[in-house]
Amino acid sequence: MKIRNTILLLGIFSIIILITAQIIIIRGVWKQKDEMFNLRYRLFSQDALTIMNRQWSTDGFDTARLLINTKSKLVLKSMADNKTDSLTAEQKQNLYKYVTIVLNNEQDLSQWLSRFFARRHIDSVFNSKIVIMRFELINLDQTIPVYINPEFANRRPQIKSDTLRRPGPQPARMRQPRRSSEILVHMYQYEDNFYRLDFEYIIDFSDKQKIILREIAASLALSIFSIFLVVTLFLITYRNLMEEKRLSNLKTDFINNMTHELKTPLSTITVAGKTLELPLIRSNDAKILETAKLIGKQSVHLNQLINMILEISMWERTQFQLDKKKVRIEDLLNDIVESFKSGGGNGASITQKYNFKDMEVNLDIVYFTTLINNLLSNAVKYSDKDPVIEIEGFAENNYINVKVTDNGIGIGKNDQKHIFDKFYRASTGNIHKYKGLGLGLYYVKKIAEAHGGDVTVNSKPGKGSIFTVTLPY
Out of 92, 208, 425, 451, point to the residue binding ligand ADP (CB under 6 A).
425
Q: CA of 180: how far to CAs of 27, 31, 37, 202, in Å?
A: 14, 10, 11, 12
Please tell me whether residue 402 binds ligand ADP under the rule CB under 6 A.
Answer: no
First to last CA, the chain: 47
Please tell me whether residue 126 binds ligand ADP under the rule CB under 6 A.
Answer: no
- Judge whether 124 and 211 are in contact, CB under 8 Å: no
Please tell me whether residue 340 binds ligand ADP under the rule CB under 6 A.
Answer: no
Judged by CB, which is closer to ligand ADP: 410, or 472?
410
Interface mask toward ligand ADP for 438-467; x: CB under 6 A? xxxxx----------------------x--
Judged by CB, which is closer to ligand ADP: 180, or 430?
430
Closest residue to ligand ADP: CB criterion: 436
Please tell me whether residue 372 binds ligand ADP under the rule CB under 6 A.
Answer: no
Please tell me whether residue 382 binds ligand ADP under the rule CB under 6 A.
Answer: yes
Out of 253, 261, 364, 406, point to the residue binding ligand ADP (CB under 6 A).
406
Please tell me whether residue 134 binds ligand ADP under the rule CB under 6 A.
Answer: no
- Judge whether 272 and 294 are in contact, CB under 8 Å: yes
Out of 336, 424, 451, 471, point to the residue binding ligand ADP (CB under 6 A).
424
DSSP H/E element including 402: strand 399-405
Question: What are the DSSP calls for 343-393, one per residue?
Answer: TTTTT-EEEEEEE-TT-EEEEEHHHHHHHHHHHHHHHHHT-SSS-EEEEEE
Q: Smallest distance from the beta carbon of 445 to ligand ADP, in angstroms? A: 9
Judged by CB, which is closer to ligand ADP: 412, or 452?
412
CA distance 393 to 336: 14
Q: Smallest distance from the beta carbon of 217 to ligand ADP, in angstroms? A: 54
Please tell me whether residue 393 binds ligand ADP under the rule CB under 6 A.
Answer: no
Q: Smallest distance from the beta carbon of 387 to ligand ADP, in angstroms? A: 9
Nearest partner of 28 among 38, 40, 18, 20, judged by Cα: 20
Judged by CB, which is closer to ligand ADP: 183, or 411?
411
Mode of pairing for the β-strands spanning 388-396 and 360-364:
unpaired
- Judge whether 147 and 164 are in contact, CB under 8 Å: yes
- Judge whether 452 and 471 are in contact, CB under 8 Å: yes
Torsion angle in degrees (nearest 10) through CA of 44, 45, 50, 52 = 120
Tell me which residues touch ligand ADP (CB under 6 A). 378-379, 382, 406, 408-411, 419, 424-426, 436-442, 465
